[in-house]
Amino acid sequence: ELTAYWGHRNLFGEGERLRIDASVARIGTDGWDGLEYRAGAVYAKPGILDIDTDLFAEFRLEREAPDAYESYAGFVKLGLSRRFNPDLEGSVAVSARQSRIEDAFGTRSFSVLSLPTDLVYDTRDNRMDPTGGVHALTSFTPSVDVANSSAYVTSRVQVASYLPFDEERRAVLAGRISFESVAGASLADVPATDRIFAGGGGSVRGYEYRSLGPMEAGRVTGGLSLLAASLELRLRATPAIGIVPFVDIAAVSDSAFPTFSDAPYVGAGIGLRYFTALGPVRLDVAMPITEKDGRDDFGIYVGLGQAF
């Protein structure tokens, strides 16, 4: 992935922030057809109503091309974010998105109006390398597709917690559980970009990004609900080196609530951490445990900061 941006942190002299960015991703996958790219701008004005409330606006054009679908889209968003206290913040916005998507159900256009809201509670001691505290988030997004006369509601709840075993916090048990649901419309009526997929470095490691979910005509469609969990044992072998065995599991269903009719997907592996002043450099190697046609034998994931 290549990313470039220009930013200004005091645009009109009262702390206004403007960022213009562009990126190209999945370079080297399938030539030009496999590339993903996006460009856009984000503007934020602090203290719009009071000192703890900010106004934000976003505009973006993007192309997504995972194996499950291909999407060309543009969207605008306008909203307010508020810090209720040092541990709790939330936001509410209005969003309009126009997209053309090719997937297992054909090629269609969508015009979606949404009202995304979210709430985040965060008591982690270090966001890049947490060894204690809780990170919880919830989101609720009612949407109307005016082009196809359908409506649906997307919900998400995720909680992560960290348990140190010693005073020096050289051994930490980290766990995360997630639930997602899309209710009110059939699978085919929900745009592929709003359906739920699993797989990849932020989900079930060992499988490709967005490669897990219900299938139609031999192609992954995504689902309408997900129940997932991850467990890691983070061990510091030296002040600079850490070892992390982990396991991820997820069940994706084509109904708004998990039915567990299919076996959940499980991935397991081990990671290496190199601790720097910015945070740990992460290298994970994972193997898929659940059988899946056409899967790779293993996956390698590199990043900055712990997986969650």
The pLDDT of residue 132 is 95
The pLDDT of residue 258 is 85
Domain 104-308: assigned CATH number: 2.40.160.50
For the ranges 27-31, 51-55, 301-305, the lowest mean pLDDT is seen at 27-31
The pLDDT of residue 263 is 79
**Nearest to residue 133, comparing CAs of 85, 87, 92?**
87
* pLDDT value at 292 more than 80: no
CA 299/CA 199 separation, integer angstroms: 10
Model pTM above 0.95: no
List all residues 6 or more positions away from 262 whose beta carbon is below 8 Å from its beta carbon. Answer: 251, 253
The H or E element containing residue 70 is strand 70-85
The pLDDT of residue 296 is 76
* pLDDT value at 210 more than 90: no
* pLDDT value at 216 more than 90: no
Which of 65-69, 92-96, 146-150 holds the top average pLDDT? Answer: 92-96
The pLDDT of residue 208 is 87
In this predicted model, which residue has the larger pLDDT, 89 or 219? 89
Checking phi first, is residue 48 left (phi over 0); if not, alpha (psi -120 to 50) or beta? alpha
| Extents of the domains making up the chain | 1-103, 104-308
pLDDT tier at 1 (50, 70, 90 boundaries)?
A: confident
The pLDDT of residue 291 is 75
DSSP-based three-state secondary structure for 124: coil
For the ranges 11-25, 128-142, 204-218, the lowest mean pLDDT is seen at 204-218
Percent of the chain at pLDDT > 90 equals: 82
**Mean residue pLDDT across the chain:** 93
Please report, for residues 215, 256, 286, the alpha-carbon distance to residue 176 in angstroms, rounded to integers and kept in the order given.
26, 21, 17
What sign for the dihedral angle of Cα 236, 237, 238, 243?
A: negative
The pLDDT of residue 293 is 67
Checking phi first, is residue 278 left (phi over 0); if not, alpha (psi -120 to 50) or beta? alpha
A 10 A CB-CB count for 181 gives 22
Side-chain-side CA neighbours of residue 10 (13 Å): 2
* pLDDT value at 294 more than 70: no
* pLDDT value at 257 more than 70: yes
pLDDT tier at 27 (50, 70, 90 boundaries)?
A: confident
The pLDDT of residue 67 is 83
